Structure 1
Amino acid sequence: MLWKICQRLNYLDKLIKQKATGTPKELAQKLGITERAWYKFRDELVNDLHLPIDYCPYTRSYVYTEEGSFEIGFRKLSKQETANLNGGRTSSVIYFRNFFSLNF
Structure 2
Amino acid sequence: MAKLTKQIEILERIDQLIRLKATGRPKQLAKRLEISEATVFRMIETMKDMNAPICYDLTRQSYIYTETTRFKCGFYVEELDTTTERNLSGGYCYKNALKVLAF
Fold shared per TM-score above 0.5: yes
TM-score of the pair, normalised by structure 1: 0.67
Shift in CA distance, 68/82, structure 1 to aligned 2, threshold 3 Å: farther
Deviations 1:61-88 (A, max 9, x none): 000111122211202463628848xxxx
Contact 2:8–2:73 (Cα < 8 Å) also in 1: yes
Q: Please list every run of 5 or more consecutive structure 1 residues that lacks an aligned counterpart in the other structure.
A: 85-104
TM-score of the pair, normalised by structure 2: 0.68
Identity, in percent, stands at: 35
Aligned residues: 83
Bigger-Rg structure (1/2):
2
Runs of 4+ in 1 over 6 A off after TM superposition: none
3-state SS of 2:24 partner? coil
3-state SS of 1:70 partner? coil
* 1:52-91 map, 5 Å: 52-76=53-77, 78=80, 80=84, 83=87
* 1:1-104 map, 5 Å: 1-47=3-49, 49-76=50-77, 78=80, 80=84, 83=87
Which has the larger strand fraction?
1
CA RMSD in angstroms comes to 2.1
